[in-house]
């Protein structure tokens, strides 16, 4: 769709996943400088992050140190050579960040939802060539995420990455923000050139979940990770439970497996090709079976129509679903998947039945009128 420069180029990652780390919030000069020093010593971090203006859910909580924090980041960069990244939520933030030599900007999840704010940021970016990372909106709306990326792109920058930080939801979950991996995967399908960065800190909300989420992101071929780190996480002024010390960050990173995204060995490629052919053949069978199932559903629709019966028969639907759920465990399939899969099949069956019933109705009317 458009021409984008991968994050590996603007962060010079040498083919490795891009690692952006630093505190949720800049709190004091000492904290920013010390964190930067330790992260730089680790040798694995490509950019230092810190929130200066914090969009908080409730009032009377710490809302960031403001512009003074930009000076601390400037100093941290001078001391360590690390590139710096801050969150911006309006045009003034962009201006202040640019005046302090910040290298990378990111748009937070609460800002991505608002096209007015994103446009204001994009307008402030005109004529400036600075990389921008766009976090997903807090609600699972892919269009809104893409719209924000488009607005930033129209401002003239090609250095854009998308940060996946998960999505809010009302019900209980082990995640702070549920990942809904299918959304960033679809984003990547629609904009193949976009670099995907995972933010396991805000997805998990707990430090012991960072490793598992990061591994999944790497397995899905993400281009990098943004992980919150703090010299004394338990005393952090925001997002305490999800921050880790720079030492822990190194440990987490050491336990992650990075995988090759493209296969180059011809033998491996051949084996993979064979397995992919199998998958294609199975998919063809699945499509054939689904089509046959819909034909039967249409027959049922005609029968119900002739006998004036309703399409939805809750008891029968429950029976189908219960049967599938029982079998799912035996087959090694998750209940969640089976529920979604059968709901989709059921909806499609209903649509087919509605179509045949409507056709029946139309033709009986034409018969009556002729």
Residues that bind Mn ion (CB under 5 A): 24, 239
109 binds ligand PEP (CB under 6 A): yes
- Residue 165 makes contact with ligand PEP by CB under 6 A: yes
CB of 200 to ligand PEP, least distance (A): 11
Nearest to 51 by CA among 22, 31, 30, 78: 22
Residue closer to ligand PEP by CB (options 200, 305) is 200
Q: 225 CB contacts (<8 Å, ≥6 apart)?
A: 17, 18, 19, 20, 197, 198, 199, 200, 214, 217, 218
Residue 69: closest CA among 39, 49, 89: 49
- Give SS3 for 333: coil
Residue 63 Cβ vs ligand PEP, minimum distance, rounded to whole Å: 11
Q: H-helix or E-strand containing 127? A: none
Q: How far apart are CA 246 and CA 243, in angstroms?
A: 9
Residues 24 and 199: their CA atoms lie apart, in Å, by: 11
Q: Residue 188's Cα: distance from chain center in Å? A: 10
- Residues facing 172 on adjacent strands: none
Which CB, 58 or 307, lies closer to ligand PEP?
58
- Work out what residue 109 binds among Mn ion, ligand PEP, none; the CB cut-off runs from 5 to 8 Å by kind: ligand PEP
204 binds ligand PEP (CB under 6 A): no
Taking the complex as a whole, the smallest distance from the CB of residue 301 to ligand PEP amounts, in Å, to 46
**Residues 121-140, interacting with ligand PEP (CB under 6 A):** 135
- What single-letter DSSP state applies at residue 209? G
Query: With binding defined as CB under 6 A, does residue 200 bind ligand PEP?
Result: no
Q: Which residue is nearest to ligand PEP (CB)?
A: 108
Instruction: Give least dist CB 49 to ligand PEP, A.
Output: 7
C-alpha dihedral sign at 274, 279, 280, 284: positive
Q: How far is the C-alpha of 52 from the C-alpha of 49, rounded, in Å? A: 10
If binding is defined by CB under 6 A, does position 207 make contact with ligand PEP? no
Q: Which of 131, 112, 337, 83 is nearest to 202 (CA)?
A: 112
- Residue where the block lists tokens 């921050």: 243
d(CA 204, CA 99): 34
Nearer Cβ to Mn ion (86/122): 86
CB nearer to Mn ion: pick between 49 and 77: 49
Nearer to ligand PEP, 40 or 112 (CB): 112
Compute and round to an integer the Cα radius of gyration of the chain: 26
Closest contact distance (angstroms) between CB of 133 and ligand PEP is 10
Give 24 or 213: the residue with its C-beta nearer to Mn ion: 24
DSSP 208: G
- Give the nearer residue to ligand PEP in terms of CB position, either 214 or 349: 214
- We find the least distance from the C-beta atom of residue 51 to ligand PEP, in angstroms, to be 5
Beta-bridge partners for 20 = 47, 226
Q: Which does 46 bind (CB under 5 to 8 A by kind): ligand PEP, Mn ion, none?
A: none
Which residues in 14-73 contact ligand PEP (CB under 6 A)?
A: 24, 51
Nearer to ligand PEP, 68 or 281 (CB): 68
Q: Cβ of residue 10: shortest distance to Mn ion, in angstroms?
A: 23
Task: Give yes or no for residue 164 binding ligand PEP (CB under 6 A).
Answer: no
Is 202 an interacting residue with respect to ligand PEP (CB under 6 A)?
Answer: yes
Number of residues that bind ligand PEP (CB under 6 A): 9
Site for ligand PEP in 89-108 (CB under 6 A): 108
CA distances from 317 to 106, 245, 302, 311, 347 (A): 47, 52, 18, 11, 11
Please give the C-alpha separations between residue 297 and each of 18, 31, 304, 324, in angstroms, as whole numbers. Answer: 50, 65, 10, 17
Pick what 77 binds: Mn ion, ligand PEP, none; C-beta below 5 to 8 Å, kind-dependent. none
Chain residues in the site for ligand PEP (CB under 6 A): 24, 51, 87, 108-110, 135, 165, 202
């Amino acid at each position: 769709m458009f021409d984008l420069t991968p994050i590996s180029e603007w962060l010079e990652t040498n083919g490795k996943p891009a690692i952006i780390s630093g505190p949720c919030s800049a709190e004091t000069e000492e904290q920013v400088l010390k964190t930067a020093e330790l992260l730089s010593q680790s040798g694995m971090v490509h950019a230092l992050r810190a929130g200066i203006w914090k969009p908080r859910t409730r009032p009377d909580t710490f809302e960031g140190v403001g512009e003074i924090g930009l000076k601390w980041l400037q100093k941290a960069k001078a001391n360590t050579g690390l590139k710096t990244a801050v969150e911006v939520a309006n045009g003034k933030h962009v201006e202040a960040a640019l005046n302090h030599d910040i290298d990378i900007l990111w748009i937070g999840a609460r800002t991505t939802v608002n096209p007015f704010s994103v446009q204001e940021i994009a307008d402030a970016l005109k004529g400036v060539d600075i990389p921008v990372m766009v976090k997903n909106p807090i609600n699972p709306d892919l269009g809104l995420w893409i719209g924000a990326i488009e607005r930033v792109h129209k401002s003239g920058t090609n250095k854009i990455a998308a940060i996946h930080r998960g999505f809010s939801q009302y019900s209980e979950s082990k995640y702070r923000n549920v990942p809904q991996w299918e959304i960033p995967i679809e984003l990547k399908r629609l904009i193949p050139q976009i670099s995907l960065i995972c933010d396991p800190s805000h997805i998990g909300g707990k430090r012991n979940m960072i490793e598992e989420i990061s591994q999944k992101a790497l397995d899905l071929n993400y281009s990098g990770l943004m992980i919150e780190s703090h010299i004394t996480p338990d005393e952090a002024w925001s997002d305490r439970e999800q921050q880790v010390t720079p030492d822990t960050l190194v440990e987490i990173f050491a336990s992650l497996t990075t995988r090759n995204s493209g296969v180059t060995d011809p033998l491996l490629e051949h084996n993979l090709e064979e397995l992919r052919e199998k998958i294609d053949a199975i998919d063809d069978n699945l499509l054939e079976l689904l089509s046959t199932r819909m034909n039967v559903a249409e027959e049922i629709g005609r029968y119900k129509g002739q006998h004036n019966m309703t399409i939805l028969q809750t008891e029968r639907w429950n029976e189908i679903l219960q049967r599938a759920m029982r079998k799912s465990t035996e087959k090694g399939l998750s209940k969640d998947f089976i529920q979604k899969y059968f709901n989709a099949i059921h909806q499609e069956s209903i649509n087919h039945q509605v179509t045949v019933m409507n056709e029946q109705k139309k033709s009986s009317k034409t018969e009556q009128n002729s």
